[in-house]
Amino acid sequence: MTEPMAVRCTGLRQTFGEHVAVDGIDLAVPAGAVFGLLGPNGAGKTTTIRAITTLLPTAAGTVEIFGVDVARHKLAARRLIGYVPQQLSADGTLTGWENVALFARLFDVPRAQRRSAVRTALEAVGLTSAAERQASTYSGGMVRRLELAQALVSGPKLLVLDEPTIGLDPIAREGVWERIHEIRAATGMTVLVTTHYMDEADQHCEQIALMHRGRIRALGTPAELKSVVGPEATLDDVFRTISDDAFDAETGEGMRNVRSTRRTSSRLG
């Protein structure tokens, strides 16, 4: 039997008053993938992430995590998810161990398994030697890895990362990604990430969805998205194209349509 998609959003729509934050998107994230959800500020990424992680009730449409409807079975869906928000969530007054142990309790990890789960999570992110230090003494990269351990302590099948390396220097950013890939290789978990660092998305994401004004404007591998813009294009160029409304947002002539047209022209040529 084929495993269901790690994430499936169907007709997802979210509004805040008269503002439409997410405008009826369809999104499918394959199990085991590193999937990037990109777009300019205000595109609807964080709202989508909050709906996926059950932090925001779905106004319209459905969200499923490995086939579990988040509206009908919120607690069951939450047990499948590990979430690292954009805002810092580690408590500087607690040690690294205490921070992760707190999350083990919050995620209802069985008491008999907690010490082992905390130890494994800290080992996975390379913080064993710093586990007894207060988090306030950690560097920015260490804090982000600590938050990664907090998300991993319950053994999730889906890891959701909202701007996981924001504000970090290049070495710390790469260190966080090295840990993410090591954990994914060891566990087979799915990773859904938002980031404004286009080089990260290009290097680490297998598939990318680009959002703008609440809709998915482009979907494909980094190579596919870049090829639509031009032979020497970067993901930065793709990002700017989406942000500058070079494609008509109202008529639907987005990058998905352009890619399809080019493929048709190629077959006819």
Q: What is the pLDDT of residues 159-197, one digit of tens each?
A: 999 988 888 888 888 888 998 998 899 899 999 999 888
Q: Which of 146, 158, 142, 135 is nearest to 83 (CA)?
A: 158
Domain ranges (residues) in the chain: 1-32+40-80+197-269
In the predicted model, residues of the chain with pLDDT beneath 70 are: 1-3, 244-269
Choose among 81, 102, 86: nearest CA to 150: 102
Helix (H, G, I), strand (E, B) or coil at 221: coil
Distance CA 12, CA 58 (A): 7
Distance between first and last Cα of the chain: 41
Instruction: Give me the amino acid identity at 95.
Output: T
| pLDDT at res. 222 | 93
> How far apart are the C-alpha atoms of 205 and 194, rounded to whole Å?
10
CATH topology of domain 1-32+40-80+197-269: Rossmann fold (3.40.50)
Residue with structure tokens 């954009």? Answer: 86
Predicted TM-score (pTM) of this structure: 0.84
Question: Tens digit of pLDDT for each residue in 106-138?
Answer: 888 899 999 999 999 999 899 999 999 999 999
Please give the mean pLDDT across all residues of the chain. Answer: 86
Residue 245: its pLDDT value, please? Answer: 55
So what's the pLDDT on residue 2? 62
d(CA 112, CA 109): 8
